[in-house]
Copies of this chain bind each other. A is one copy, B any other.
Amino acid sequence: YVLYVLAVMLPPMVLALPSNSGHFLQNRLSCVFLLIHVPCFFPSLQTTSSALKGAIQLGITHTVGSLSQKPERDVLLQDFEVVESIFFPSEGSNLTPAHHYGDFRFKTYAPIAFRYFREMFGIRPDDYMYSLCNEDLIELSNSGASGSLFYLSSDDEFIIKTVQHKEAEFLQKLLPGYFMNLNQNKRTLLPKFYGLYCVQAAGKNIRIVVMNNLLPSAVRMHLKYDLKGSTYKRRASPKERDKAVPTYKDLDFMQDMQEGLLMEGDKYSAVCKTLHRDCLLLQSFKIMDYSLLVGVHNLDQACREQASEEAVAGAADQRRPLGQKSLYSTAIEAIQAETGSMGSEDTGDKTGGIPARNSKGERLLVYIGIIDILQSYRFVKRLEHSWKALVHDGDTVSVHRPGFYAERFEKFMCNVVFRKIPCKYRDKGV
């Protein structure tokens, strides 16, 4: 109720905002509405709040801006441990604009190191800031048991994910090795980490990581899988199956896609080689329990649907006009970086999907990436589960020692999920 009062008192304060925050004015009414319903700032991680989004945008705008004023220099080992912190009082300060999200503190982890990473990934500071901060962030429906919130930048390039304290800590520890990998290995299916931040308000810390978006919104995913190479309890729940596009799991894949996703020899080799190097790195960090996210767009099915479904195609497909190319990170680049080829010739695809076929010979675009690499610490928590799984079946445990996990993961992906296209499809002129 205190906040409500603040909110209705906003108009005079809002006038003090810089001109580029005009959209705050437009949203003021809905914001008042929100504040009534969310009387406390970020009462829990579960609460989606436009205040969080607003704080993130103010924070990133500030940190990227102040970073661009620092001269370019080499990243040093110590840069991985730096945490920069700035206070955003709602009434504004000489460094920060006034705002109506309540006082908060914004922390930027390893700013110089992440600036280097963004540069390596070809992201200009202005573009990064513009993509994340210039339009509203889109909240995605929570996928999975992690309890994380997901936001998508309106241009579809970036995912913002809330992470737990331990995950953020782990990412920071990972940075030197991540740096090394990036310098040796342009081809990688690992998550691309663009930034790690923390919004601190009302005694709560909300840590967020900015990553690449694996599944372009403009491309309808006909199938989605979260694969680990394990079979224990690896079936989508009935609740998940009720969704429009459920995220299926290993057992579902084995049942529904018995012939796997068929790729040309060069693509198949590139995927497997990339997975191998990535798994080696994950293993070296004792990371387990990661998944391969697989999105499948069926080009032939899409053609059939187009006529009948045009009305249903919906908002998501309008976010980026089909054919507009993905700016930064695509699956095809991840496996064949040096070729720099942005599209496949036979499909004319510019969204970076990897061309493949299903067993019917239908043309597919496959979007893949390794996800959930920061959650190894859960290993301890899940010991009980692990034990049950161990009893259930010795080598189908999802949580196992890293070398075993990596090997099984790799084997599953390269033997079961992805396969070299057999001659019978070749002859059809694939």
**A interface, CB within 8 angstroms of B:** 73-78, 116, 176-177, 179-181, 183-185, 277, 280-281, 284-285
Contact = CB atoms under 8 A, between A and B. Distances in A.
A183 B186 CA distance: 13
Contacts of A179: 180
A119 to B, nearest CB: 11
Which of A76, A180, A185 has most B Cβ within 10 Å? A180
B181 A74 contact: yes
Given A77-B176, A176-B180, 9 more contacts: A73-B277, A74-B180, A74-B184, A74-B277, A76-B284, A77-B285, A78-B284, A176-B176, A183-B183
Contact of A177 (B77, B284, B285): B77
Nearest to A184: B74
B280 A73 contact: yes
B185 A74 contact: yes
A281 B76 contact: yes
Contacts of A184: 74-75, 116
10 contacts: A74-B184, A74-B185, A74-B280, A74-B281, A75-B180, A77-B176, A77-B285, A176-B176, A176-B180, A180-B180
Contacts of A284: 76-78
A114 B173 CA distance: 23
Q: How many subunits of this chain does the assembly comprise?
A: 2
A293 B75 CA distance: 26
A243 to B, nearest CB: 38
Contacts of A285: 77
Contacts of A181: 74
A77 B77 CA distance: 12
A276 to B, nearest CB: 9
A317 to B, nearest CB: 39
Q: Which 8 A-B pairs give the minimum distances between C-beta atoms?
A: A77-B177, A76-B284, A183-B183, A74-B184, A176-B176, A74-B185, A77-B176, A78-B284
Contacts of A185: 74
A76 B281 CA distance: 7
A76 B183 contact: no
A368 to B, nearest CB: 20
A177 to B, nearest CB: 4
A309 B116 CA distance: 55
A151 B281 CA distance: 38
A204 B75 CA distance: 39
A290 to B, nearest CB: 17
A6 to B, nearest CB: 45
A285 to B, nearest CB: 8
Contacts of A177: 76-77
